[in-house]
Structure 1
Amino acid sequence: MTRRSPTSELLARAADDPAVMARFWSHVRHPAGTACWIWTGAISDRGHGRFWVGDNRVVIAHRLAWAATYWGQPVPRLLSHDCDNPACVNPAHCRAGTAATNRAEYQARAGMPGSPLNDIRGARGRAEALRAAARSGMDLDAAITAGLSPLDRDQPGLW
């Protein structure tokens, strides 16, 4: 039997508690036009959702969404976002990674025109803008476009 880390155990207990999960899902929006599930609660300096699960314990929101979706499986120590949106809690957009693979993916995608990683507001600023748009029902595309530099916004596709 695989032994879980204390954090994985904490996430499993939270994912198994209907009251905790009802409170958690109340902070998630599914805006039209995107497959991302936007976290509308507290946000860390890196733009990831933060969620209090009790006893002054805070977890990363997308890790709890992963634990709830893949209940019974150990939660990976690091989850990489394929969508490059740290405010996204859609487990389908996350996969197990390492610090090294996460850095390599960041470096490979950060220079791509229009990449969310190029947002001039930074990860937290982007997450705050997306959170505000999702909370108010505003156009998510407008919130995304507002963070793009003219080069990223106006760069035509190559094919």
Structure 2
Amino acid sequence: MSHLYLLKESKINFSEWILIFKAPFALFAIHAVISLPGIDLYHAWPSVDIPMHFFGGASIAMAGKAFLDVLRRREFVSTLPWQIWLFLIIAMVGCAAAAWELLEFAVSEITGLMLQGDHFDTMFDLVNGLSGGVAASLWYMFWKRAQHTNGG
């Protein structure tokens, strides 16, 4: 019940949770559409897996940043050096990427569907997800610093 505690104590309401996770929700909706029978883009063009994992990592980084911002506004966490924020966001991306690959594996094993390729494919998916998370995090960190420097 720790998630209920966080919801109650931090006063993060449902609409804020939706805003935090808007990027991953949007990307998952795209994933669902391109996976539909009749479209099935993953089989028609298997390379679509690469940008989907990259943008998946970027979307989780955006959600992680938004979540940490909410926690900072609620004074659950203090202002930390940007390197610590970057580490925390990338750790969230890594956990989400690993969870996604474990889910793909479990669904493949349970249903008999081939959602995963070989070990190389899984590692490549993890690298793409982490790359997207790192790219989005660094872009935001330096863009934000540039805005502060330029008076934005």
TM-score (norm. length: structure 2):
0.29
Say which one has the larger Rg: 2
Higher strand share: 1
Answer 1 or 2: which has greater helix percent: 2
TM-score by length of 1: 0.29
Where relative contact order (Cα < 8 A, 6+ residues apart) is larger, the structure is 2
